[in-house]
Chain A
Amino acid sequence: MSESTALDEASARHLLRRSGFGAIDRDVERLLSRNETRGEAAASILDYKPSKFRPRNKDIDIAHNKWIKFMVRNRTPIQEKLALFWHDHFATSNDVVRDPKQMADQNRLFRSLGKGDFRVLMNAINRDAAMMDFLDTIRNSKEEPNENYPRELQELFCFGVFDLDGQPNYTQEDIVQIARAFTGWRTNSKNNQAYLNENRHDKGTGAPEDPYPERGPKVIFAGNSAFGPGGYDFGAAAGTNYEAEIDEVMNAIFQHQDSAGRNTVAHWIGYRLITFFADPEPTNAYVESMVSASNFDTTFNVRDFLYQVFVSDEFYAPLSDPTKRSVKWPVDYVITTLRLLGMKLRSRYQYINGGSYDEIRDQLSNMGQLLLEPPSVFGWDWETSWVSSSTLLARYGFARDVISARGRGKTTLRPERLFDFAESPAVDPEIVVEAIANLLGVGDEFAPASNNRAILVDYLTDGNGGTVDFSDYETRDMKLRGAICLVLQSPAYMLH
C-alpha cells in the first residue's frame, strides 16, 4: 500500500540513515534520481550481491579494525547493518571462543546468509564452530546433557521468552528434550566442520549404552497449537538417522505457534528487525502486518520482510514524531560521522589523526560496544541503555578527536573542503549552522528559529549576534571545527 508512495528527500535521507550509516549528499541525490517511490528505493537498497568479506586476522584487535575499515568504505552499508544486527542476535564473544578464525567464519555467515531465508542462517548457526564452542554444544554429551545452547536457541535465537502478548513460548521440558538432539555434536579441529559423534549422542534407544529411560520420548512443544496435546516427537521423526534430529527439532521450531496462533519465529525475528531498523517499541499490529505483507511466516525471507518495513508509514514516523527516534549504536555513531565527513582512520590500528590518538577499538569499547566481544549471549542493550555518563564522554572524546584531526589525505578533517563559505568579514552565521547541521543529518533539529540554531549562532558570533568574520583563516577554521564538534556532541546527533 505504501510502496507506491512517492519518495521525497526527507524520506530518502531517513531510509539511508536507518538502513546504513548516515545520509551522504551524493547518495541522497542518487537515490532520488533513480527511484520514484519508496518501494523502488527500498528494493535498490536491498537488492545487493552479498560480499564474501570476513574480518580475519590471527590478532582479534586487527580483525576488529578490518571490520571497522570495511564499514567506513564499503558501498552496501545495509549489509553491514544486517551483519551488526545478526552479530548482536547471535552474540558470540571471542573472549570465550578465543579463535579469531572461527569468529571471522561466523561473521561471514551474517553477510552471505544475512538477508536470505532465516531458516538457512539458523541451521548454519547450529553447526557454526564459534557458536558450538561459545554455548557448549561441543561439551554436550548423553551422560549429562548441557542446556546452554538449547535454552538460548529458544529464548534468544528463535522464540523470545514471551510472545507479543506476554505469554511464555516454551517450557523447561522443551529445553531438556532439545538438549538431547544436540548431544554428541563436535567440530573437526582441522576444518571447523561440525559432525555427530554417535557414541556421545543420546539415541534414546534404551539400549545398554543409552540407559536413560527416565528421559522419556523425545517430545517437545506438547500442547502447542501447532502440534496438539501430544507435541512433536523429533526422535521418532528422525528414526535412526540421528544427525537429522537437529533438523527435526528445527522443523518443529519453525512451525511453533505462540499463544495467539501466530508463527512464533517469524514474529520474534520480525519484532527484532523492526526494533533495530524502525521502531524501538512497535505495536503488535505493526509486527503482524509486516509479517503478513511479506509472508515472513512461510518464506522467512529477511529481504522481503525488510522491504515491507522500509515502505511502511511507521518506518518514516520518526521524521514527524521525535518520541519515535532511536539512539544510534556506538558503531553507527562512529561510522556515520566518518562517512559524512569523508574521513578515514589511520593504520591497521585505526585511530583518528588527532586529539587522543586512541585506537578506534578502545574508543568503541568506552562507548560500550566492543565488536566481536559482546558482553554476553544477550548481546548489547540498546536505546537509552547506550547512554551513560561514561559512554557519553567517550562519544564527546571521539568528536573532539575528529575535529582535531590534521594532516594529509582523508585522515584529516578539512572544513574548507566540506563547505564553501566566502572568506568574507561578514558571513551570515545562520547559513553556517544550516550547512553544518544539514551535512550531519540534523537539519530539522537546528531549523531556523529553533533554540538549537540560536545556541550555535551565539557560539559562532561569541554572543554578539550579527555576522561572523571569516576573513581570517584561523578564526574560520576554529569556529567551523568548533561548530562541527558541538553538533557531533549534541543530543540531537545521538539520535536518528
Chain B
Amino acid sequence: MAISRRQFLRRSGFATAGGLMGPGILGNPWMQRALAETIGDRYFISFFLNGGNDGLNTVVPYDNGGGTLRSDYENARRTNSGGIQLDAGSGGGGVEGLDQAMPTSSFLDPNTGAQLSFHPGLQAFRDLYDAGQLVVLQGCGYPEPSLSHDVATTIWETGDPFGALAGSKGWAGRHLEAEYNPTDIPAVTIDNQVAGELQQTGTSVLAIRRLNRFGFPYDDEYEDDEQAKQDAFDALYDEAAANGSGPAVFIGNSGAATAQAAQSYPALHTDYENERGGFSDMYDDQNLGGGTSTTRDLREVAKIIYGTAKGVPNVNSRFFQVHNGGYDNHSDQGGGDPDGRHYRLHREVSAGIKIFLDDIADMANGQTDGRQNLPDKICILVWSEFSRRIIQNDNGTDHGTQGPMFVIGGGLAGGVVGNHPNIAQAVIDNYNGNTPYSQSGGFRSTDIRDVYGTILKNWMNVPQGTVQAILPADGGNPADYWTVQDFDLPIFL
C-alpha cells in the first residue's frame, strides 16, 4: 500500500508557519517575485449583489438628453408615500437627491445623451468614477432572461444561458480549470461555500470566512500522538482522492487542499494585523462606511492579496468572490433616505470597496519589488442576478431584467459603456414590465458574456480562441441573440 505523505503538512508546521512569516524574511523577495510585472500578478474579484439589485435606482437618468429617460423614470418611480423616485436635484427634508453623487466628469448615456447620476448612497463610486477607477456597464443581461433568483444566478455564474456546456461550471472556473493544476489553490471565496462562478473540478478553490479561524483543529490532549494522527488523516484523504468513487473523490481532494491551506493561510491574518493594523481599523470605521459585513469580507481579501503579493510560501490566490445580500426589496426599498434599505446597501458596498482600494494603494506605497504597481493589478466586477421591475410596487420593486455592472480598479479606460435600458411606457405595456434583451438598435443590451470575455481576454490575457471556447455563442438561436465574440468592450486601457 502506497501512502503518500505531505511532509510540509507535519504538525511541526504549527511553529514553522509563524516562523516563515517572521520579520527576517519580509525584505526578501521570494521566488514568486520573478512573476512581478507579468500578467500572472493580476487579481480579479467578483462582487455579487445577491437578491437582484434595482439598477434603475443605481445608475439613474438625471435629464432626458435627446430622449425621454428622465420622464420615463418619473413615470415608473413615484414620489408620494412609499415612492422611491430619486430627485433630480439635492432632495430635501432629510432625503438626498442625485446631486449628492453626481460626477464632475462626463457621465452621459451613450444612446440618448441623457445626463446620468449615481444613487446618492453611491458617493464613493462617484469618487472612483471621477478618478477613472470605475467603468459603468449599462443594460447588462442575456437572452430570454429568467426572473427566478435561482435560475438567473446560475446563468450569471456560468455565463451559459442556454446550457450549451455540460457540468454547470462557473465562467471563471472554466478558466481556472484550464490554467491551474489540481494541487494549486488559485481562488478563494469569502464564505462557507465556493461561489458558483469559481466552481469546477480541475483545481482547488478555498472557502474561507475568516482567516484567523481557518486553522486545523488539533487535539491538544495527546500531543505526542498528533503526528501519527495527521499522517493517517492525510492518507485517508489521499486514498479517497485516488481510489474513491462518486462524491468521495471530491471530498478527498477538498480535504487535502484544506489541510494544506490550513497550514499557510491562518498566518496571513496575524501578519496583516501586525503590519497593517492601521488599515485594518479603517474597515471597522463606521465614519468611513466601514464596520459592515462587506468591509470585513474585503479585509480578508486584502490579507490574502497582501500575502500573495509579498510571496508568502504556498499562498498564490488570484481570484476571489465576495458577496452582499439584501437586494430583494419587494417592499420597504426606500429611495434617497439615508436610512432606507437600498441606500444603506449602496453605501455599504461603495464605501467598502473604496476602503479596500485605499488599503491596496497603501500596500504599494514605497515598495520597489513590484508591489508598487499593485493598484493597477486589481479588477473588481460588481454584478447582480437581475435588476428590478421598471414600475415600482407599493413601496418596493419586483423582479426585473437588465441592469448596470461596474468594473473597478486600475488600468481602466473609465466612462460609460453600453446603453441605459429602454424604460418607456410602451416597453412596460408590451414586454410584461421589463426591458427585453436586444442586440440591435439604440437600446442594444450589453451581453454578460461580452463582459466576462473582455475580462478574460484583456485583463487575464487569455487568447481570444480560448475565451470563445469558454463562452460559446448562441448558435442556432434567433439572429438577435449573442453571436459576436470579439470580447473587446472598451473597459481597459
Q: A389-B258, A393-B217 are known contacts. Are A383 and B247 too (CB-CB below 8 A)?
A: yes
Interface residues on B, range: 35 or more
B236 in contact (CB, < 8 A): yes
Cβ contact of B193, chosen from A145, A322, A324, A388, cutoff 8 A: A388
Shortest CB distance B233–A (Å): 6
Q: In the complex, which residue of chain A has the Cβ closest to the Cβ of B249?
A: A491
Shortest CB distance A168–B (Å): 10
Q: Which residues of A contact B376 (CB under 8 A)?
A: none
A478 in contact (CB, < 8 A): yes
A468 to B291, CA, bound (A): 55
A343 in contact (CB, < 8 A): no
A141 in contact (CB, < 8 A): yes
Q: Is the CB of A322 within 8 A of B398?
A: no
Q: Which residues of A contact B258 (CB under 8 A)?
A: 389, 392-393
Cβ contact of A145, chosen from B235, B254, B393, cutoff 8 A: B393
B38 in contact (CB, < 8 A): no
A44 in contact (CB, < 8 A): no
* Contact mask for chain B residues 295-325; partner A; CB cutoff 8 A; 1 contact, 0 none: 0000000000000000000000000000001
A231 in contact (CB, < 8 A): no
Q: Which residues of A contact B399 (CB under 8 A)?
A: 147, 151
Q: A141-B394, A459-B231 are known contacts. Are A390 and B247 too (CB-CB below 8 A)?
A: no
Q: Which residues of A contact B191 (CB under 8 A)?
A: 390
Q: Give the residues from 236 to 278 in chain B that come closer than 8 angstroms, CB to CB, to chain A.
A: 236-237, 239-240, 243-248, 250-252, 254-255, 257-258, 261-262
Q: Which residues of A contact B149 (CB under 8 A)?
A: 376-378
Q: Which residues of B contact A376 (CB under 8 A)?
A: 50, 149, 325
- Selecting from B27-35, B105-113, B220-228, the interface stretch reads B220-228
Q: A143-B394, A494-B251 are known contacts. Are A451 and B217 too (CB-CB below 8 A)?
A: no
B180 in contact (CB, < 8 A): no
* Contact mask for chain A residues 147-158; partner B; CB cutoff 8 A; 1 contact, 0 none: 110010001000
A18 in contact (CB, < 8 A): no
Q: Which residues of B contact A462 (CB under 8 A)?
A: 228
Q: A388-B254, A389-B206, A389-B261 are known contacts. Are A452 and B218 too (CB-CB below 8 A)?
A: no
Q: Is the CB of B193 within 8 A of A325?
A: no
A155 to B151, CA, bound (A): 10
Q: Is the CB of A495 within 8 A of B251?
A: yes
Shortest CB distance A367–B (Å): 8
Q: Which residues of B contact A399 (CB under 8 A)?
A: 217
Q: Is the CB of A455 within 8 A of B330?
A: no
A388 to B236, CA, bound (A): 17
Q: Which residues of B contact A383 (CB under 8 A)?
A: 247
A125 in contact (CB, < 8 A): no
Q: Is the CB of A391 within 8 A of B193?
A: yes
Q: Is the CB of A325 within 8 A of B3?
A: no
Q: Which residues of B contact A384 (CB under 8 A)?
A: 247, 250-251
Q: A139-B330, A393-B214 are known contacts. Are A400 and B219 too (CB-CB below 8 A)?
A: yes
Q: A322-B244, A355-B217, A396-B217 are known contacts. Are A144 and B393 too (CB-CB below 8 A)?
A: yes
Q: Is the CB of A368 within 8 A of B150?
A: no
Q: Which residues of A contact B225 (CB under 8 A)?
A: 478-479, 482
Shortest CB distance B54–A (Å): 14
Q: In the complex, which residue of chain B has the Cβ closest to the Cβ of A322?
A: B245
Q: Is the CB of B393 within 8 A of A155?
A: no
Q: A147-B330, A151-B399, A495-B251 are known contacts. Are A397 and B217 too (CB-CB below 8 A)?
A: yes
The interface on chain A, measured as residues whose beta carbon lies within 8 A of the other chain's beta carbons, has a size of 69
Interchain pairs with CB closer than 8 A, number: 184
Interface centre among B191, B209, B261 (most CB of A within 10 A): B209
Interface centre among B151, B225, B237, B392 (most CB of A within 10 A): B225
Q: Which residues of B contact A367 (CB under 8 A)?
A: 192
A225 in contact (CB, < 8 A): no
Q: Is the CB of A378 within 8 A of B192?
A: no
A139 to B398, CA, bound (A): 13
Q: Which residues of B contact A485 (CB under 8 A)?
A: 219, 229
A489 in contact (CB, < 8 A): yes
B207 in contact (CB, < 8 A): yes
B12 in contact (CB, < 8 A): no
Q: Which residues of B contact A155 (CB under 8 A)?
A: 148, 150
Shortest CB distance A97–B (Å): 14
Q: A143-B394, A376-B149, A390-B192 are known contacts. Are A403 and B251 too (CB-CB below 8 A)?
A: no
Q: Is the CB of A495 within 8 A of B194?
A: no
A226 in contact (CB, < 8 A): no
Q: Give the residues from 461 to 496 in chain A that come closer than 8 angstroms, CB to CB, to chain B.
A: 462-463, 478-479, 481-482, 485-486, 489-492, 494-495
Q: In the complex, which residue of chain A has the Cβ closest to the Cβ of B265?
A: A389
A292 in contact (CB, < 8 A): no
Q: Is the CB of B228 within 8 A of A482?
A: yes
Q: Which residues of B contact A8 (CB under 8 A)?
A: none
Q: Is the CB of A495 within 8 A of B148?
A: no
Q: A397-B217, A404-B219, A455-B235 are known contacts. Are A151 and B248 too (CB-CB below 8 A)?
A: no
B208 in contact (CB, < 8 A): yes
Q: Give the residues from 423 to 463 in chain B that come closer than 8 angstroms, CB to CB, to chain A.
A: 432
A305 to B151, CA, bound (A): 28
Q: Which residues of B contact A143 (CB under 8 A)?
A: 394
Interface centre among B214, B237, B239, B257 (most CB of A within 10 A): B239
Q: Which residues of A contact B257 (CB under 8 A)?
A: 389
Q: Which residues of A contact B254 (CB under 8 A)?
A: 387-389, 392
Q: Which residues of A contact B240 (CB under 8 A)?
A: 490-492
Cβ contact of B192, chosen from A388, A403, A404, A458, cutoff 8 A: A388
A139 to B397, CA, bound (A): 12
Q: Give the residues from 74 to 122 in chain B that come closer than 8 angstroms, CB to CB, to chain A.
A: none
Cβ contact of B393, chosen from A146, A173, A390, A489, cutoff 8 A: A146
Cβ contact of A454, chosen from B1, B189, B330, cutoff 8 A: B1
Q: Which residues of A contact B261 (CB under 8 A)?
A: 389
* Contact mask for chain B residues 163-193; partner A; CB cutoff 8 A; 1 contact, 0 none: 0000000000000000000000000010111
Q: Is the CB of B193 within 8 A of A482?
A: no
Q: Which residues of A contact B392 (CB under 8 A)?
A: 144
Which 9 A-B pairs have CB atoms at the shortest separation, nearest pair first?
A388-B207, A323-B246, A491-B240, A397-B217, A144-B393, A389-B258, A459-B232, A491-B251, A400-B217
What are 23 pairs between A and B in contact, CB < 8 Å? A139-B395, A144-B392, A145-B393, A147-B330, A148-B398, A161-B148, A161-B151, A376-B149, A377-B149, A383-B247, A384-B250, A384-B251, A389-B258, A392-B254, A393-B217, A397-B217, A404-B221, A481-B219, A482-B229, A486-B233, A491-B237, A491-B255, A495-B251
Given contacts A390-B207, A396-B216, 17 further A-B contacts (CB under 8 A): A139-B395, A144-B394, A155-B148, A325-B247, A355-B217, A387-B251, A389-B257, A393-B215, A399-B217, A400-B218, A454-B1, A455-B236, A478-B225, A481-B221, A485-B219, A490-B236, A491-B237
